[in-house]
């Protein structure tokens, strides 16, 4: 297992580094890969002083002030959603589960839309008002969904999913209503709900980072419990697991991750659903691999999707959620097809 | 080892168990028999701590089953369910390794010795070595049940609860399974409690039988004492003929058809 993790993890990190360097160079101003590598080395501690700056200083401005923060934020959002997705799939033991199944994203969207609708998105605490409120309403939604499905101290998985779906459609209706009633020429609510990473500086990264570090290590730490849980809740209890507690912790942590990601970047679908499945199809059902590799996979996928979003129709930006679904769905279909041919019966 | 004192269990209006008294000594092999809905599985759930008695007591080693920490209980007591393990895609060896869960901390690290030798030994005993890397969802029902037995063996319990473990197995696998449990018991001296539907299998393997009907105990004792024509007629409402097994001498139950002239 450790060898497998080191192998796949190594490949993943190399792929991520290559994706980063290539995607940093792509844009209205093309920047050579050599310059990007040297610039990054220059900014690293210890070895940085040995690298003499011999590149165009305006390149450094573009990379460090514009493209890098956006790309790093994209990585974190992708990682958060993919890790949350793997956690939700493990606890709900449902292949269709994703970070948005329990209605967290819709909850965040209601908070964000209401602010935008009433023109309050910069009140209270400036540009952080919207992410803050979206985060809070997202968490409140999970609480409501859990309260709805609670049955004598236990949360049965099926009623949890149903409550999530109900909540999602109800809150979705509110968002649609506000979107339709909004009479601005550029519909901000619509754009927010479709997800974007543009014009967000380093501060957003700093908000997201602590959630991500804590969330990733908690979910990864529970990977073995997720494995045992896949034998069924009763069997897990017989093996000594306090099932309700483990479920609650993972659901809560994954919700925090989702709400944090959604509140800074809007609703970016498909990452949390597809990346864990892709990893599962490549490496098998072991969550000790799925969780960390989904973290890397989510980052790679999001960086590529965001690069496409900002360059394909430049200077117009395509909403990120549109790109992730457009790229992700066919890729997923291909993997599903391949796994069928290998005789796994398309099982996920 | 296990003391059940006036244990009752109600599910709403339904009395699933009514004032059951029962005592199990260390190293015994008990069979729990009785018709469908007589409370056999409910009794097993009280023992395994997944359900609590509505009244009365279920004591394991002198302490109420419900008062143990979940992991503590699982270090002592293992359960093999009727449907065994679901057809997951994990390889056999990983599934066996999950039997160590009660001995691991919250990060999944083993608290005691490295269990590798233990798992290897059990794979040899159960003839699972060749299947070690095969995913569970590619195995037959009989093989999967053997893996389930392997998992509870890895758990190294002192008490084994079996809930109709042979239901989905054919004749050969039924006997193979029971023999494997028997060998394990001989080697380690564990206490076995098995809910069984097959009275003849129960008579062949169990030292003692507990007979339940409508949530109440109608008798407990050796198979010779319990499997009498009168008792079976009363509990199951069928017309039995009891014969002696020609080799082992244990009672075997044959059922007569209602012959009409």
Instruction: Read off the pLDDT band of B119 (50, 70, 90).
Output: very high
B193 strand-pairing partners: B30, B161
Q: What does the angle CA A300 – CA A191 – CA A79 come to, to the nearest 5 degrees?
A: 20
Q: Is residue B45 a part of any domain in this protein?
A: yes
Whole-number Å distance between alpha carbons of A119 and A110: 14
pLDDT of residue A287: 95
DSSP class of B146: H
Q: Is residue B236 a part of any domain in this protein?
A: no
Collect all residues with Cβ–Cβ distance below 8 Å to B221 and sequence separation of at least 6: B208, B209
Mean pLDDT lowest among A245-254, A308-317, B20-29: A308-317
Whole-number Å distance between alpha carbons of A222 and A209: 20
What mean pLDDT comes out for the span B14-22? 90
B191 touches chain A (CB under 8 A): no
pLDDT of residue A338 exceeding 80, the answer is no
pLDDT of residue B261: 47
Collect all residues with Cβ–Cβ distance below 8 Å to A299 and sequence separation of at least 6: A16, A74, A75, A76, A78, A79, A82
What mean pLDDT comes out for the span A157-169? 90
List C-alpha distances in Å: B90 to A96, A147, B144, B235, B260: 20, 34, 12, 43, 55
The domain of B39 spans: 2-222
Q: What 3-state class would DSSP assign to B63?
A: strand
Looking at chain A, which residue has its C-alpha nearest residue B137? A344
Q: Is residue B245 a part of any domain in this protein?
A: no
Q: Is residue B151 a part of any domain in this protein?
A: yes
A238 to chain B nearest CA, in Å? 6
Contact B89 A228 (CB under 8 A): no
Pairing of strands B208-213, B216-221: antiparallel
CATH code of the domain in which B104 resides: 3.40.50.300
pLDDT of residue B157: 95
B90 touches chain A (CB under 8 A): yes
pLDDT of residue A240: 92
**Look-up: residue for tokens 């419990």?**
A225
Report the residue from A224, A239, A286 with minimal CB separation from B102.
Answer: A239
Q: Is residue B21 a part of any domain in this protein?
A: yes
B79 touches chain A (CB under 8 A): yes
The total of structural domains in chain B comes to 1
Looking at chain A, which residue has its C-alpha nearest residue B44? A238
User: ipTM of the predicted structure?
Assistant: 0.88
**Look-up: residue for tokens 């602010």?**
A115
Q: Is residue B231 a part of any domain in this protein?
A: no
Residue A238: is the preceding peptide bond cis (ω within 30°)? Answer: no
Which structural domains are found in chain A, ordered by start? 2-344 (1.10.3470.10)
pTM summary value: 0.88
Q: Is residue B126 a part of any domain in this protein?
A: yes
What is the overall mean pLDDT for chain A? Answer: 86
pLDDT of residue A347: 46
Contact A230 B88 (CB under 8 A): yes
Q: Is residue B205 a part of any domain in this protein?
A: yes
Contact B70 A241 (CB under 8 A): yes
Residues of A in contact with B48 (CB under 8 A): 238
């Amino acid at each position: 297992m450790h060898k497998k993790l080191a192998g796949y993890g190594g490949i993943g990190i190399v792929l991520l580094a290559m994706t980063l360097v290539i995607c940093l160079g792509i844009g209205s101003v093309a920047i050579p890969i050599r310059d990007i590598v040297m610039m990054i080395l220059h900014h690293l501690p210890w070895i940085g002083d040995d690298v003499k700056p011999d590149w165009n200083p305006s390149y450094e401005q573009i990379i460090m002030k514009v493209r890098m923060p956006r790309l790093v934020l994209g990585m974190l959002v992708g990682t958060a959603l993919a890790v949350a997705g793997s956690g939700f799939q493990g606890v709900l033991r449902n292949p269709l589960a994703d970070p948005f199944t329990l209605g967290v994203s819709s909850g965040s969207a209601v908070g964000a839309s209401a602010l935008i609708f009433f023109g309050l998105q910069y009140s209270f605490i400036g540009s952080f008002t919207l992410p803050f409120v979206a985060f809070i309403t997202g968490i409140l939604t999970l609480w409501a969904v859990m309260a709805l499905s609670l049955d004598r101290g236990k949360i049965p998985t099926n009623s949890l999913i149903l409550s999530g779906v109900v909540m999602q459609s109800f809150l979705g209706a509110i968002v649609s209503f506000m979107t339709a009633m909004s009479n601005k020429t550029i519909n901000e609510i619509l754009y927010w709900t479709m997800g974007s990473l543009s014009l967000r500086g380093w501060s957003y990264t700093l908000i997201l980072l602590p959630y991500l570090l804590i969330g990733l290590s908690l979910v990864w730490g529970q990977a073995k419990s997720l494995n045992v849980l896949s034998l069924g809740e009763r069997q897990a209890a017989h093996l000594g697991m306090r099932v309700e507690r483990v479920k609650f912790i993972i659901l809560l942590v994954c919700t925090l991750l989702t709400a944090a990601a959604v509140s800074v970047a809007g609703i970016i679908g498909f990452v949390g659903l597809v990346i864990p499945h892709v990893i599962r199809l490549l490496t098998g059902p072991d969550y000790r691999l799925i969780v960390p590799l989904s973290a890397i996979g989510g980052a790679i996928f999001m960086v590529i999707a965001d690069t496409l979003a900002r360059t394909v129709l430049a200077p117009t930006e395509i909403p990120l959620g549109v790109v992730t679904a457009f790229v992700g769905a066919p890729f997923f279909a291909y993997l599903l097809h391949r796994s069928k041919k290998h005789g796994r019966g398309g099982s996920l | 080892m296990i003391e059940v004192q006036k244990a009752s269990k109600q599910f709403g209006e339904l009395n699933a168990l009514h004032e059951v008294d029962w005592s199990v000594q260390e190293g015994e092999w008990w069979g729990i028999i009785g018709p469908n809905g007589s409370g056999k599985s409910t009794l097993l759930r009280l023992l395994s701590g997944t359900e609590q008695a509505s009244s009365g007591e279920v004591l394991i080693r002198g302490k109420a089953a419900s008062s143990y920490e979940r992991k503590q209980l699982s270090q002592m007591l293992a359960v093999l369910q009727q449907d065994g393990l679901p057809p997951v895609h994990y390889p056999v060896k990983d599934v066996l390794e999950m039997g160590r869960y009660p001995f691991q901390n919250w990060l999944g690290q083993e608290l005691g010795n490295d269990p590798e030798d233990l798992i290897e030994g059990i794979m040899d005993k159960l003839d699972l070595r060749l299947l070690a890397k095969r995913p569970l969802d590619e195995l037959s029902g009989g093989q999967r049940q053997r893996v389930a037995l392997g998992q509870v063996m890895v758990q190294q319990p002192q008490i084994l609860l079996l809930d109709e473990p042979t239901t989905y197995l054919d004749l050969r696998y039924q006997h193979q399974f029971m023999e494997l449990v028997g060998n394990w018991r001989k080697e380690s001296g564990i206490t076995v409690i098995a809910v069984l539907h097959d009275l003849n299998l129960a008579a062949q393997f169990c030292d003692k039988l507990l007979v339940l009907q409508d949530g109440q105990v109608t008798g407990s004792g050796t198979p010779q004492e319990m499997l009498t024509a009168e008792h079976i007629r009363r509990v199951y409402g069928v017309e039995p003929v009891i014969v002696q097994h020609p080799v082992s001498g244990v009672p075997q139950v044959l059922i007569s058809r209602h012959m009409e002239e």
